[in-house]
Structure 1
Amino acid sequence: MKITILGSGNVATHLGKALFKAGHCISEVYSRNLANAQALALLLNAKAIDNLASLADDADIYLIAVSDHAIETVTSQLPSTLRGIAVHCSGATSIDVLGRFEQYGVIYPPQTLKKENDTQMAAIAFGIEGYPSATEDLLHQLVHEFAPNSFRCNSQQRLALHTAAVFANNFTNSLFQISYELLQAQGLPFDLLHPIMQETVQKATQHEPRTVQTGPAQRGDHVTIEKHLNFISEKPNWVKIYQQLTEEITSKKGN
């Protein structure tokens, strides 16, 4: 299959490499920054361009792997008569943004991808959506070549997956940072928490998380909760987070 990649960042790089390794022809790589396009094109044996007006019109797929806020800008510059399938990679952007094309779809990886990391794409379950149904079938088959756990989902389901990933990944990492700073302030190393962090993730992947919830909020230990709140009282944001999460845990008790 002949594929044009619009974008040269993290997602474009990983998807480009996976598709190239699967035997597909990456014909062009577009970026507003020609040097960035050239760097990725060199890896994929493709032509680098920095002007959408010069885009070839014979690709089977136009993979729009740019930031969410840039998707509409890029798609608006593509001809509506595009014969190939227009595909974006966003979790939070509806498929409808591509509705002016005859064939369109979404390939969304619920995973943090970095150029410098050697991510195992086969372990990622991509969310696949396409219109018409034959296009979805084709995209599903394409992604299954390098990511066999991928599945079909609509825009609402994909948004739920993206939101859930923010809670599970981004917010959790922010809580890790709070823990790091709490320990650092008392001259304690963060690796003291590594065992409990690893155990928490392991249990959450093996059970419904609420069934393995522990801690003072789960026990209704108000004395300990007040001690914690007093201890972090100089950090109002931390107090709010602690209180809100305590309320969330308490609300799940008995459910």
Structure 2
Amino acid sequence: MNAVIIGSGNIATHLAKTLYTAGHTISQVYSRTLANAQALANVVNSDCINDLSKILLDADLYILSVSDSAIPEITNNLNKNIKGIIVHTSGATDMNILDEFENYGVVYPPQSINKDIDTDLNLIPFAIEANTFKNEEMLLQLIKTIASKSFYCNSNQRLALHLSAVIANNFSNALFQISKDILDNANLDFELLKPIILETAIKVQNHLPETTQTGPARRADYNIIDKHLQFLSQFPEESKIYQILTDFIIKRYHK
């Protein structure tokens, strides 16, 4: 299988490297910035380009891995005579943005990936969707060569997956920052929380979140909750977040 990589960022880099390591050919790497395309192309023994009109038309797969906002512009400027399967890697962009092409789909990893950090794609469940059953089968079998947990997922399911990933990953990280700010204000080190953060992450690997919920809201301990809210009076925005999450937990477990 030979592929063209359109993009040189985090997901593009990991997919290109992993496909190449698995024995697939990376024919071209495109980036608006030629130096970025060159850097990735050097790693996967590929040609680099920064002109969409120079993209080959006979590859088997075209991976469009750019920011969501850049997908429409790139798509509009790609040659519509591409016969291979063209896919984007977005969790929130509808597959049909590619419907001017004959064969198209989505390969979405619900994972925060950094191109400078080693990541085993075989541990990530890629969501696969395509415009035909044949293309879906081809994509699934291909991606399973590098990510064995890959699965079929329609656009609505993918959006739900992306939203859930944002809540579980991005929102939890924002809560870590709030915790750090509170500790910093009290001249305490964020390192003190790392054991409990790790313990929570480990628990959810083997148990449902609803069975591992603890804390004053889970117990409906209003005395402690009031003390927390009094303390948070110096942090108005954080206090609102605490109150919303506390109310959610109480309503869920104390109907």
Matching residue of 1:220: 220
1:8 and 2:12 equivalent?
A: no
Matching residue of 1:107: 107
CA RMSD of aligned residues (A): 1.1
Q: What per-residue deviation string (whole Å, max 9, x for no partner) do you get for residues 88-136 of structure 1?
A: 0000111111111111011101111111101111111100111211001
Secondary structure of the 1:28 match is strand
- For residues 36-185 of structure 1, the aligned pairs below 5 Å read 36-185=36-185
C-alpha distance in structure 2 between counterparts of 1:41 and 1:147, whole Å: 22
Secondary structure of the 1:176 match is helix
TM-score scaled by structure 2?
0.97
Q: What per-residue deviation string (whole Å, max 9, x for no partner) do you get for residues 13-55 of structure 1?
A: 0000011011111011111101111111111111111111111
Contact preservation (8 Å) 1:109, 1:125: yes
Q: What is the CA distance between 1:242 and its match in structure 2?
A: 0.3
Q: Which amino acid in the other structure matches residue 43 of structure 2?
A: L
How many residues get paired? 255
C-alpha distance in structure 2 between counterparts of 1:12 and 1:171, whole Å: 24
Structure 2: gaps of 5 or more residues = none
Secondary structure of the 2:233 match is coil
Contact preservation (8 Å) 1:210, 1:252: no
Q: Which amino acid in the other structure matches residue 6 of structure 2?
A: L
Matching residue of 1:35: 35
C-alpha distance in structure 1 between counterparts of 2:202 and 2:12, whole Å: 31
C-alpha distance in structure 2 between counterparts of 1:229 and 1:112, whole Å: 33
Contact preservation (8 Å) 1:4, 1:62: yes
Q: What is the CA distance between 1:254 and its match in structure 2?
A: 4.8
Runs of 4+ in structure 1 deviating by more than 4 angstroms, as ranges, are none
Contact preservation (8 Å) 1:92, 1:162: yes
Q: Which amino acid in the other structure matches residue 142 of structure 1?
A: L
C-alpha distance in structure 1 between counterparts of 2:132 and 2:186, whole Å: 59
Secondary structure of the 2:193 match is helix
